[in-house]
């Protein structure tokens, strides 16, 4: 069943994953779905293609290794689970079994960032740094629930591995009208136009950045929001363009360690391309184990919530050229 | 059993012929260990030499001239540090010229490195080296065969030391849970880790019971008795059966060279010209002793 939705509504990204995979199972007879004991939303695929569904139980390392074995044999395996475990417990399998031979294994999961209130064992906050470090890996972080389906679809024809990061994925704001943007892996999306500063972000924080831009517009500020959903390979051209078009004022906000994620990716491009900036504000998780609380409370506590984003953007706009 | 059906010419080797091939494999290993300047994992190569011979010259249904044939048996080298033993066994089977190994092993841009890489060396089924990774890969390949209704086997060679890795047992559980009777693990049970003997710091026993407890069909053989190895291969359960099989091969690390046997100093090393002569003499002597 295709997912129906309305722009601006809340939608479960997980249900999009489930229905997309079930749909793709028809087109791709070599599509497998594997999970380490996660995935009520995979039921549709499991019921349609029991021969190509594998729940290994609690065994992330074997799960990724088995996916690699399937890929060696010409299959397209999708591994779905919780990202703190797929990105860390199975890191060596991801690196040596999947990335080293450049196999088309798709890793898709939830709990990217301080979400779900599980505590630090259950938050993936280092994952983008780890995944971006791996040769051959494409790294994405998706906020718009419908985009998840599109990215999975595009990933089917990719030669190598891809990492697809979601937050909790139970209830996410639909950000884009269908067809509003040309969604392509490796290309950032200008989610809102603006000329005074650019907020770069990814995942569910895009919604927060759009709210911040809306708030700043009331004071006459024109703030661009870039959904840099592909962290690797990063859209260097767009970063260069934003520097010119938004007066050299960058703000990066993300639900990931402030060092090692998107901010670091953007800073690398700024350094490598010798881009002149007047302001570079970096908001993300500091070097702490964050504790408990709901998503918004944790963002506010750790300095990358809505108010902090507005304040940082004001600082960037006010900075001397 | 339908082994060798892909083979271009020739019936399976006899046990006597296989013994000769194993001797040749050991000689070539020692030659490399004596001429290559860096360290060779000679101890674990020599313990696995008979297993490699039994697999590449008898058990594996492969065609060196058609390495992508979907009906071929798959071989996963989980103990990746025995790569050079696999390279030479494959060369002897006709996959690539032996000279290429001797001339370039370990050198810049060589296809033949310390641990095998599929990207650099087609014919090798997968890139391995980090221990505990091979069995999950083999499970994936066996599942793939099952999914397509193909009737080849997936073989995986592990060292006993590496079965300390938890991922091995995750995969063992997955293999049983998914009824992969098309999966066959060989364990080179040489009872040595790099720096200690088995049971000294790590208790493996009761070793066959561990595999049995995971629901595997367990076969115990003398890993240096070619008739035993061939017998185990002949008696493998049907490919479409439900239990994965582990062939636990009792072996001696450094087998065939007396001063290397059960010697922790020879996990990896390099023979000089003088020691190469000594090692070759020891290998000859060990063969003479066996044939008496």
Nearest-Cα residue of chain B relative to residue A57: B174
Question: What pLDDT, on a 0 to 100 scale, did the predictor assign at position B290?
Answer: 79
Q: Is B271 within a domain?
A: yes
Average pLDDT over residues A11-34: 94
Q: Look up residue B45 and give its two tokens.
A: 């190569």
Residue pair A198/A279 in contact (Cβ under 8 Å)? The answer is no
The 3-class secondary structure across chain A, one letter per residue, is CCCCCCCCCEECHHHHHHHHHHHHHHHCCCEEEEECCCCHHHHHHHHHCHHHEEECCCCHHHHHHHHHHHHHCCCEEEEEEEHHHHHHHCHHHHHHHHHCCCCCCEEEEECECCCCCCCHHHCECCHHHHHHCCCCCEEEECCCHHHHHHHHHHHCCCCCCEEEECCCCCCEECCCCCCCCCCCCCCCEEEECCCCEEEEECCCHHHHHHHHHHHHHCCCCCEEEEECCEEECCCHHHHHHHHHHCCCEEEEEEEEECCCCHHHHHHHHHHHCCCCCCEEEEEEECCCCCCCCCHHHHHHHCCCCHHHHHHHHHHHHHCCC
Which structural domains are found in chain A, ordered by start? Answer: 10-173 (3.40.50.970), 189-318 (3.40.50.920)
Q: Is B273 within a domain?
A: yes
Neighbouring CB atoms inside 10 A of B35's CB total 16
CB distance A61–B136 less than 8 Å? yes
For residue B144, list chain A residues with Cβ-Cβ distance below 8 A.
69-70, 73-75
Q: Is B197 within a domain?
A: yes
CB distance A70–B144 less than 8 Å? yes
Question: What pLDDT, on a 0 to 100 scale, did the predictor assign at position B5?
Answer: 61
Interface test with A, best of B136, B141, B162 (most A CBs within 10 A): B136
Residue B174 has its nearest CB partner, among A32, A52, A59, at A59
pLDDT tens per residue across span A220-251: 999 999 999 999 999 999 999 999 999 999 99
CB distance A32–B139 less than 8 Å? no
Q: Look up residue A205 and give its two tokens.
A: 């924080």
Q: Note whether A235 contacts B: Cβ–Cβ < 8 A.
A: no
Question: What pLDDT, on a 0 to 100 scale, did the predictor assign at position B12?
Answer: 76
pLDDT tens per residue across span A157-180: 999 999 999 998 888 899 998 889
Q: Note whether A77 contacts B: Cβ–Cβ < 8 A.
A: yes
pLDDT tens per residue across span B115-166: 999 999 999 999 999 999 999 999 999 999 999 999 999 999 999 999 999 9
pLDDT tens per residue across span B229-262: 999 999 999 999 999 999 999 999 999 999 999 9
Q: Note whether A160 contacts B: Cβ–Cβ < 8 A.
A: no
| Containing structural domain, residue B156 | 15-291
What is the spatial distance between Cα A139 and Cα A148, in angstroms, rounded to a whole number? 13
Angle at which helix B15-35 crosses helix B273-291, to 10 degrees, equals: 160
Task: Say how many domains are in chain B.
Answer: 1
3-state SS assignment for residue B187: strand
Q: Is B106 within a domain?
A: yes
Q: Look up residue A2 and give its two tokens.
A: 């295709």
* B276/chain A closest Cα distance in angstroms: 35
Residue B143 has its nearest CB partner, among A61, A64, A66, at A66
List of residues 6+ apart from A290 with CB closer than 8 A: A114, A120, A123, A125, A298, A301, A302
Whether A7 has a pLDDT exceeding 90, the answer reads no
For residue B125, list chain A residues with Cβ-Cβ distance below 8 A.
72
Q: Band the pLDDT of B1: cuts 50, 70, 90.
A: very low
Whether B2 has a pLDDT exceeding 50, the answer reads no
Residue B164, classified by CB atoms within 10 Å of its CB into exposed (0-12), middle (13-18) or buried (19+), is: middle
Q: Band the pLDDT of A6: cuts 50, 70, 90.
A: low
Q: Is B165 within a domain?
A: yes
What is the spatial distance between Cα B56 and Cα B95, in angstroms, rounded to a whole number? 10
Residue pair B120/B141 in contact (Cβ under 8 Å)? The answer is no
3-state SS assignment for residue B185: strand
Residue B143 has its nearest CB partner, among A59, A70, A102, at A70
Question: What pLDDT, on a 0 to 100 scale, did the predictor assign at position B236?
Answer: 98
Residue B140 has its nearest CB partner, among A52, A59, A66, at A66
List of residues 6+ apart from B12 with CB closer than 8 A: B3, B4, B58
Q: Angle at CA B163, nearest 5°, toward B157 and B167? A: 95
List of residues 6+ apart from A103 with CB closer than 8 A: A68, A71, A72, A97, A160, A161
Give the CATH number, domain containing residue B238.
Answer: 3.40.50.970
CB pairs under 8 A between A and B: 106
Q: Band the pLDDT of A1: cuts 50, 70, 90.
A: very low
Interface test with A, best of B75, B78, B132, B140 (most A CBs within 10 A): B140
Q: Is B256 within a domain?
A: yes
**Whose structure tokens read 């490699």?**
B52
For residue B174, list chain A residues with Cβ-Cβ distance below 8 A.
54, 56-57, 59, 62, 66
Residue A61 has its nearest CB partner, among B170, B177, B178, at B170
Q: Is B9 within a domain?
A: no
Question: What pLDDT, on a 0 to 100 scale, did the predictor assign at position B9?
Answer: 43
Residue pair A206/A227 in contact (Cβ under 8 Å)? The answer is yes
Q: Is B33 within a domain?
A: yes
What is the spatial distance between Cα A299 and Cα A123, in angstroms, rounded to a whole number? 13
């Amino acid at each position: 069943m295709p997912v129906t939705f309305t722009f601006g509504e809340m939608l479960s990204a997980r249900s999009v994953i489930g229905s997309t995979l079930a749909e793709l199972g028809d087109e791709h007879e070599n599509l497998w779905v594997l999970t380490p004991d996660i995935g009520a939303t995979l039921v549709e695929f499991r019921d349609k293609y029991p021969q190509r569904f594998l729940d290994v139980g609690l065994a992330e390392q074997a799960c990724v290794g088995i996916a690699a074995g399937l890929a060696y044999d010409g299959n397209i395996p999708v591994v779905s689970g919780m990202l703190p475990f797929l990105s860390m417990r199975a890191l060596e399998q991801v690196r040596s079994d999947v990335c080293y031979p450049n196999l088309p294994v798709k890793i898709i999961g939830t709990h990217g960032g301080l979400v779900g209130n599980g505590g630090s064992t259950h938050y993936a906050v280092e994952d983008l740094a780890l995944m971006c470090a791996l040769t051959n890996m494409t790294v994405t972080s998706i906020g718009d629930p419908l985009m998840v389906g599109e990215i999975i679809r595009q990933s089917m024809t990719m030669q190598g591995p891809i990492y697809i990061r979601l937050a909790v994925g139970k209830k996410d704001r639909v950000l884009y009208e269908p067809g509003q943007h040309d969604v392509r892996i490796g290309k950032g999306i200008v989610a809102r136009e603006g000329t005074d500063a650019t907020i770069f972000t990814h995942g569910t924080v895009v919604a927060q950045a759009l709210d911040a831009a809306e708030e700043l517009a009331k004071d006459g500020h024109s703030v661009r929001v870039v959904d840099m959903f592909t962290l690797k390979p990063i859209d260097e051209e767009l970063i260069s363009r934003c520097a010119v078009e938004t007066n050299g004022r960058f703000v990066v906000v993300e639900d990931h360690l402030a060092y090692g994620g998107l901010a670091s990716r953007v800073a690398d491009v700024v350094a490598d391309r010798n881009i002149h900036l007047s302001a570079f504000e970096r908001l993300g998780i500091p070097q702490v184990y964050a504790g408990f609380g709901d998503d918004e409370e944790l963002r506010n506590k750790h300095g990358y919530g809505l108010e902090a984003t507005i304040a940082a953007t004001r600082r960037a706009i006010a900075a001397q050229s | 059993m339908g082994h060798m059906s892909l083979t271009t010419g020739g019936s399976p080797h006899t046990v006597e012929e296989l013994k000769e091939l194993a001797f040749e494999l050991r000689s070539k290993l020692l030659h490399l260990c004596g001429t290559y300047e860096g360290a060779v994992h000679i101890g674990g190569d020599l313990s696995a030499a008979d297993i490699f011979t039994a697999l590449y010259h008898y058990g594996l249904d492969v065609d060196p001239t058609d390495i992508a044939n979907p009906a071929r048996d798959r071989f996963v080298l989980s103990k990746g540090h025995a790569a050079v033993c696999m390279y030479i066994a494959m060369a002897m089977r006709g996959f690539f010229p032996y000279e290429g190994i001797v001339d370039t092993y370990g050198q810049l841009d060589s296809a033949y490195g310390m641990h095998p890489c599929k990207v650099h060396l087609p014919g090798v089924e997968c890139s391995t080296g980090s221990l505990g990774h091979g069995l999950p890969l083999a499970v994936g390949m066996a599942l793939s065969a099952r999914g397509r209704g193909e009737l080849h086997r997936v073989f995986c060679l592990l060292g006993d030391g590496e079965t300390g890795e938890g991922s091995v047992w995750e995969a063992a559980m997955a293999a049983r849970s998914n009824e992969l009777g098309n999966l066959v693990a060989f364990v080179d049970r040489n009872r040595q880790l790099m720096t200690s003997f088995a049971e000294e710091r790590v208790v493996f026993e009761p070793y066959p019971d561990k595999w049995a407890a995971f629901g595997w069909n367990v076969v115990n053989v003398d890993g240096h008795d070619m008739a035993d190895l061939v017998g185990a291969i002949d008696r493998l359960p049907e490919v479409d059966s439900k239990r994965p099989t582990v062939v636990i091969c009792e072996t001696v690390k450094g087998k065939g060279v007396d001063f290397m046997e059960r010697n922790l100093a020879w996990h990896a090393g390099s023979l000089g010209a003088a020691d190469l002569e000594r090692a070759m003499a020891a290998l000859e002597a060990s063969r003479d002793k066996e044939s008496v």
